Amino acid sequence: MMFLYVRVGNRDVALRLEDVEEVVKKKTLTPIPLSPPGFEGVMLLRGSPVPVYSLSSIMGEEKGEGKIVVVLKEKRGLLVDEVLGIKKGEPTPLSGSELASGTLGDTVILDIEKIKRRIKW
């Protein structure tokens, strides 16, 4: 499996590459009044609106620079601080975690389905 490694606050985490559509620099985010915690706003990407969520808020991490948006296949964006690269590996399953599905070495692999349930998108 292939994974996109990103930095969120002081933590390095990974997302399954098959869940990722593209990675872009953060553009202007339009806030939406009365939005739930973690929702940063809407970004226009080639004329289409993309809701953007703060991955640091979702993870309960200290908020970082948040200058990169990982756009998922579902046309939702996750705000991260830095993209570290792409790596291949076989993850070790992890049970009982609210957001992770496994680990690859010392890196936690985030589960998009679990993230979706947490923020109810």
Put residue 119 in one of left, alpha, beta given phi > 0 → left and psi -120 to 50 → alpha. alpha
Pick the CATH number of 2-119 from 2.40.50.140, 3.50.30.50, 1.10.20.140, 2.40.50.180: 2.40.50.180
54 beta partners: 79
Tokens of 3: 């994974």
The separation between the first and the last C-alpha atoms of the chain, rounded to the nearest angstrom, is 26
114 phi/psi in degrees, rounded to 5: -70, -40
pLDDT in tens, 33-63: 999 889 999 999 999 999 999 999 999 998 8
pLDDT for residue 62: 86
Answer yes or no: is pLDDT of 121 > 70: no
The fraction of the chain above a pLDDT of 90, given in percent, is 85
Q: Count other Cβ atoms within 10 Å, centred on residue 32.
A: 12
Mean pLDDT in residue range 2-6:
98
pLDDT in tens, 81-90: 999 999 999 9
pLDDT in tens, 58-83: 999 988 889 999 999 999 999 999 99
Answer yes or no: is pLDDT of 120 > 80: no
Give the domain ranges of the chain: 2-119
pLDDT for residue 79: 98
